A and B are shown apart, each in its own frame.
Chain A
Amino acid sequence: MKQIIIPVPNAPGTLAAVTETLADAGVNIESIEAEAIDDSGVIILRVDAYDTALRALRDGGYRAVTEDALVLRLENRPGALAQIARRLTDAGVGIRSLQILERGDERSLVTLVADDAAAARQVLADEIVALP
């Protein structure tokens, strides 16, 4: 079952709004988890209708990150991304794309697309935002 990650504002009612959006589209949530990251947060979920969920979230104005990209939780400081790049390079994993998704005062969320997603997942296991 594929995972979807949604960066959201850390505000009351956000989780309810996301779940309502999916319910309205007839999507069943298999598992869900939310995590606060400073003023923002992420909702991580698995659903029974992946493409329908992605369409509903897009139409609802949410930025949904598919499982093609890894989402990492990093310290918000210059060079934090560079360190990730270094770890991957040292492990022989090529980066296709490394982009900042959200930036809080203390931490930031980053998306990573690597040549070898499985290897990247292993190298960066301690930084990855994911359902257990």
Chain B
Amino acid sequence: MKAPADPICGGGPPPTLSPADAARLDDLYARFEAERDFSIGYPCNQAFDYSSLYRFLGFAINNVGDPFSGSNFRMNTHEFEREVIGEFARLTGIAAADCWGYVTNGGTEGNMYGLYLARELFPDGIAYFSEDTHYSVSKILRLQHTRNIMIRSQPSGEMDYQDLEESLRIHRDVPPIIFANVGTTMKGAIDRIDRIREVLGRLCITQHYIHVDAAFSGMILPFVDDPPPWDFAAGADSLSISGHKFIGSPLPCGVALVRKIYMERVSRSVEYVGALDTTISGSRNAITPLFLWYALRAQGDAGFRRLVDYSLGMAAYAVGRLRAAGVPAWRHEHSLTVVFPLPPRAILKKWTLAPYRDICHLITLPNITKDIIDTFADDMQRSLDNREP
């Protein structure tokens, strides 16, 4: 059936904005364009082109329900969502048949899903997470009434495994739910899954759950040589990866990935949509699965490897360029997060950075060029030269 020429109920001309309101939108657009190249502190890749998918924005589509169970609401993109999950399963070391997941609104929902599943499996479990963990995790644990203990971080941002062991030893009768960061928010540090499993092994703790927050690095590590153990193959039980970070998307999105056997234990039927709904939200975005599917198909492994190589090269360049400018910048191997001391206020005013206490970082996503890094390094050098003795 063809859509009517004028979709407005009752006919008549479609509503339009006043000139003043239209001008406000033009101003907003101009502001975004001006700010794009100065936004270097947050992991949101600005380089993407999904224009061939924009025609789908003309439909009210909705991915309500479990993408693997079907739904009575047929204007969905579940088929594409399942393919996205299958691709991420392959990239994270698990057979597609053993993995369940869905496209989320971002990394936090993926983390919430992992912690929710863990809490359902181990209602009395205690969650352990490092002090470099994203603040949203404390919020999730409070929402879920999950008991939790924070673990010290090493200066590098990686979990202090000795502190973890000491804390686990005291509660070894309670199943631990370990929240591991694969790329911490501020320093890009990686909590080693093999080290965590060694600790669990030494303490003879057999019942445990490991959730991995790979929001940013989850689309980097599959494409580097010799990554540290970080994925399902290393022993993760669930993973969260963002879609709008390295891949890039105009709308926030991500994937929650879990071992299917665990999800099946906690699934429940929501009959009114005819779906076995194991997702957290009811109505779910149906366009972001298309964005992710498009990016994965268009880039392919070779394309992402090229982007990762480019971005790692830019990160190395940024460290070198900043050090040459007198700024003691550093980064972890396989990380695009370049860390440096908190810059002066003028720099924070011009550049969109992410300051935290006495440090700051920039992130060399695929849209970051040498020109942008050079301009930033020059600004930093000038600010140091102008600093009062």
User: Which residues in A have some Cβ–Cβ distance to B below 8 Å?
Assistant: 78-79, 81-82, 85-86, 89, 94-100, 103
Tell me the B141-183 residues at the A interface (CB within 8 Å). 141-142, 147-152, 160, 162-163, 166-167, 169-171
Tell me the B113-135 residues at the A interface (CB within 8 Å). 126, 131
Residues of A contacting B147 in the complex (Cβ-Cβ under 8 angstroms): 94-97
Contact A99 B138 (CB under 8 A): yes
Residues of B contacting A94 in the complex (Cβ-Cβ under 8 angstroms): 147
- Of A81, A82, A95, A99, the contact of B169 (CB 8 Å cutoff): A82
- What is the interface residue range for chain B against chain A? 10 to 19
Given contacts A78-B160, A82-B167, A103-B131, contact A97 B148 (CB under 8 A): yes
Other A-B pairs, 15, CB within 8 Å; known A79-B163, A81-B167, A96-B148: A78-B166, A82-B166, A82-B167, A82-B170, A85-B149, A86-B170, A94-B147, A95-B147, A97-B141, A97-B147, A97-B149, A99-B131, A100-B150, A100-B152, A103-B131
Nearest-neighbor residue (CB-CB) of A110 within chain B:
B150
Residues of A contacting B148 in the complex (Cβ-Cβ under 8 angstroms): 96-99
- Of A78, A95, A96, the contact of B152 (CB 8 Å cutoff): A78
Identify the 6 closest CB pairs spanning chains A and B, nearest first: A82-B166, A79-B166, A99-B150, A78-B163, A78-B162, A98-B149
Residues of B contacting A96 in the complex (Cβ-Cβ under 8 angstroms): 147-148
Contact B162 A79 (CB under 8 A): yes
Binary interface profile of B, 199-228, with partner A (CB < 8 Å = 1, else 0)?
A: 000000000000000000000000000000
Residues of A contacting B151 in the complex (Cβ-Cβ under 8 angstroms): 81
B180 CB to nearest chain A CB (Å): 17
Contact A81 B142 (CB under 8 A): no
Contact A95 B163 (CB under 8 A): no
Q: When chains A and B are docked, how far (Å) is the Cα of A78 from the Cα of B160?
A: 8
Residues of A contacting B171 in the complex (Cβ-Cβ under 8 angstroms): 85, 89
Q: When chains A and B are docked, how far (Å) is the Cα of A81 from the Cα of B147?
A: 15
A14 CB to nearest chain B CB (Å): 15
B356 CB to nearest chain A CB (Å): 13
